[in-house]
Amino acid sequence: MSDLLKKAQLVKDTTTSLATKTTEEKNEALRLLSEALREQKSFIMTENQKDIEKGRANGLHESLIDRLILNEQRIEGMADALIQLTDLSDPIGDIIESWDRPNGLEIQKVRVPIGVVGMIYEARPNVTIDAASLCLKTGNAVLLRGSSSAIHSNTALVQVIHDALKESSLPNDAVQLVEDTSRQTASEMFQLTEHLDVLIPRGGKKLIDTVVSQASVPVLETGAGNCHVFIDESAKKDMAIDVAINAKTQRPSVCNSAETILVQQNWAEKHLSELVEKLQAAKVEVHGDSFTVNQGENVIEATEADYETEYLDMTVAIKVVETVQDAIDHINHYGTKHSESIVTETDQHVIQFMNEVDAAAVYHNASTRFTDGFEFGFGAEIGISTQKLHARGPMGLEAITSTKYLLYGEGQIK
């Protein structure tokens, strides 16, 4: 039996036991893990150093090296996050609904763990702790498959997890790392429908697309964000400019940052030159349609490709539109159903935009940058779903749970 299958079976065998653990037992395991991380800091850093050296030897870009690094501060951060996680309420066991049927059957819909989560992720080794802890908090087992570039770090972290689980009442095998990081093994993992209840890919678009297109196991897709801010005719000038600049520049590398700003013609005639000037002052490279090109120096003429691109850096596309309907049509055509915002003082346009834009999060008079689990108040985040099944938008703990019906009778037959 391959290492993959052996470990998949090990984690699967822990699900019944995990599902029945109390909140306090799960929190105790998280506290033990937090302590173990602090205690074994130097071991983790020594192992991490091997990945960093290998990365440098392989000519890995410094920005990727930076993602790999586990220093004291980052390990402390991981340990702190575990303690915060113990404060969150445990969704498992919640009775979501209950009702009686005319034949006397009592039906309860209760929240249960999803079972086994398969996590496939790229360089950042902190995902190992992040994923394992969110899964344990919700009574799930997890099969981890990180990248080869972080294999020493991930192996060390899973060893620390096992040390902590041994002290706890949770089953030791609930967290397993697939040590073979070949593509072949990843492809085999995509097909383990008998062992895995869900696959969660975390990483770049290519990784996610590969998992979505190849996996037979259901996938929780955390996708790209080609997000828009639409500035309507009645938008307040300063608010519109602040929202647009914040959505673009506050952290351009993340999926909820804006990529295209749509501007209503009449507003554009009055204020677009100021918006362009302020974007450029904030060091944003502005691409624009023919109208926008004339609103400032150094505006690059936008092409179709601009509207399709998730820049993820300090570049923005600007397009002038006639109506709110034009803005909605543009967004529903080019957008990735992530986060979309309208700035307007016109109630009718708010209703139309909120109803007709097809996205996980639709904003009125606010920056798109609020689409994340912490800003929504969930206290944790598995990722931001851009699909419509199971979970949409920021995913908190509930996203890695399922439900089950319990039916209580007195001998009812059909």
- Residue ranges in contact with a copy of itself by CB under 8 A: 15-16, 19-20, 99, 101, 105, 107, 114-115, 191, 193, 197-198, 212-213, 216, 218-221, 236, 239, 242-243, 246-247, 250, 328, 332, 354-356, 358-367, 369-371, 375-377, 387-390, 392-393, 402-414
Residue ranges in 99-150 assigned as alpha helix (H): 126-137
Whose Cβ is closer to a copy of itself: residue 51's or residue 221's? 221
What does the longest C-alpha to C-alpha distance in the chain come to?
80
Q: Using alpha carbons, select from 254, 252, 228 the residue that is nearest to residue 340.
A: 228
Q: How far is the CB of 397 from a copy of itself (least distance, A)?
A: 15
Phi, psi values for residue 103, rounded to 5°: -80, 5
Measured between alpha carbons, how far is residue 405 from residues 111, 195, 262, 269, 366 in Å?
Answer: 9, 22, 47, 59, 40
Strands 175-177 and 141-145 turn out to be parallel
Whose Cβ is closer to a copy of itself: residue 97's or residue 322's? 97
Q: How far is the CB of 210 from a copy of itself (least distance, A)?
A: 11
For residue 98, count other CB atoms closer than 10 A to its CB: 13
Residue ranges in 215-264 assigned as alpha helix (H): 237-249
Whose Cβ is closer to a copy of itself: residue 65's or residue 350's? 350
Whose Cβ is closer to a copy of itself: residue 204's or residue 409's? 409
Whose Cβ is closer to a copy of itself: residue 181's or residue 323's? 323
Q: How far is the CB of 246 from a copy of itself (least distance, A)?
A: 4
Residue 126 and residue 75 in contact, taking contact as beta carbons nearer than 8 Å: no
Q: How far is the CB of 221 from a copy of itself (least distance, A)?
A: 8
Whose Cβ is closer to a copy of itself: residue 160's or residue 400's? 400
What is the residue-wise DSSP string for 16-76? HHHHT--HHHHHHHHHHHHHHHHHTHHHHHHHHHHHHHHHHHTT--HHHHHHH---HHHHH
